[in-house]
Structures are given as C-alpha cells and as structure tokens.
Amino acid sequence: MCYVCDEERRPSRRGFLSVAASGALAGLAMTSLPAFAAGGATTNLTADEALAKLKAGNDKYVSGPELCAVQLNAQREHVAKSQAPWATIVSCADSRVPPELLFGGLGVGELFVARNAGNMVDTATMGTIEYGSGVLGVPLIIVLGHERCGAVAAACEVVEKKTKFPASIAPMVNAIVPAARAVKGKPGDFVDNAVRESAMRTAKQIATKSPIVADLIKKGKVKVLAGRYDLDEGKVEYFA
C-alpha cells in the first residue's frame, strides 16, 4: 500500500490534459500564463506543500522503500485523460536515481520528470520545465544531483586531466565543467562539491534564464531548489 494511493483524489485533477494538449501551447504564445493555466485544473499544492510531500516520500523511501504496484491500475485509469503533476524533477539518467521511487514510491501522474546524464538544462529540458510550470501548473522544480555522478566526475576529469570525451559526450560533459572548475581545490571531495555546485547553478539558471519560470517565481507560484541524492543512504538533501 502506498501513501500516495491512499490519498483521496481531488476532482479538480480531472479533465485537464485534453484542454492543455489541444490549446495550451498555442495559448501560451498569445496570452498571459494565468489566463492560459485557467483553461484546466492543476494541482492545489503550493511549492512548500509539494516540497513537504517530497520530503515525506523520501523519508518513507529511506525507512521502508516500496513500490506502488498494488494501486497502479487504478491510478493509471484515474490519470489517463488528465494530469496535474505537482513537482518537476530534473534528475540524472543514472539508473540508481529514479525520482518516482526515491520520493516514496509515487505512481503515474505525480511527477513531471526530465532526465539526462548530469541533470543539466539544455533547450529541450528548459522547454519541458516551462511547460510543466507554465501549462500544467507545477509549483515546485527540483534539480537533483547525486552522489558519485559519472557525468560530473567526467567534468572533474576534464578540469584535472584535460580528458577528451568522444562525440556528443564531450559537449554534454563540458556544460558541467564551469561548475567543476569553480570548486576545484576547495575542501572536501572534488566530485561531490561539483555535484552540489552544478545543481545549484542549474537551479539558478532555471530561475533566472526562463522568463516563464522567473515570472511565476515573482508571483509566488513557483519555487526552484537544488538537491543532492545520497546513493548510500537514499536521502535527498536540499539547498538553494
């Protein structure tokens, strides 16, 4: 049994995606976001409530991890025609960092997730984040780095050894290099310091470079935080 599945679903969650999918993006180009978002129901959670829910889910994952398989059929049916995700997670593609699991065994229709090696934000990911908050009404955005991240370790190698990586891996890793360079020589573990620095830089990038997100932050509707997932303990910590 999953604590998410036990919650009573809000009627307002129903019937949104059909509206959003058909008219939302076109509306976004022409109208203000609040008017656009009013086209369908979104989550009722505030950013702080969403963060509290993520923290509770992660605590549950640390103390007694479980999947949500028992209720997935009902949950899938519930969200098949609408979605109102309440947190966007930008996380690494690393197979050990699946957001739905480490935040407490969440099922379908809960998190809006963008993943890539190193949890960086390119144009496609920024657009994804903007769609999440601007269209689907997601109040909380988390950039989730993690312990012993291979992509960040590769950026540290570039800084320390001028390592060259092939093909598209090179520019992917190079995007992390400024964060690694900024913490080189600082006390503590180089890679872990770079994981934190990169996540914080990316969170700041989202908050300041996206006009959609910046506007929603200004209106008190969205918060952006960086976080780090501990592979050993399963715990997520947050920092601005």
Q: Which residues of this chain interact with Zn ion, rule CB under 5 A?
A: 92, 94, 149
| 223, β-bridge pairs | 140
Backbone angles phi, psi at 129, to 5 degrees: -65, -45
- Counting other chains too, the contacts that 51-56 makes at CB distance below 8 Å and 24 or more residues apart are 51/87, 51/140, 51/223, 51/225, 51/238, 53/86, 53/87, 54/87, 54/103, 54/140, 54/142, 54/236, 55/236, 56/3, 56/104
Task: Pick the closer one to Zn ion by CB: 41 or 206.
Answer: 206
Q: How far is the CB of 195 from Zn ion (least distance, A)?
A: 8
Cβ of residue 149: shortest distance to Zn ion, in angstroms? Answer: 3
Structure tokens belonging to residue 211:
């006009």
CB of 28 to Zn ion, least distance (A): 31
Strand partners, 88: 112, 141
Cβ count within 10 A of residue 52: 13
Closest approach of Cβ 153 to Zn ion, in Å? 8
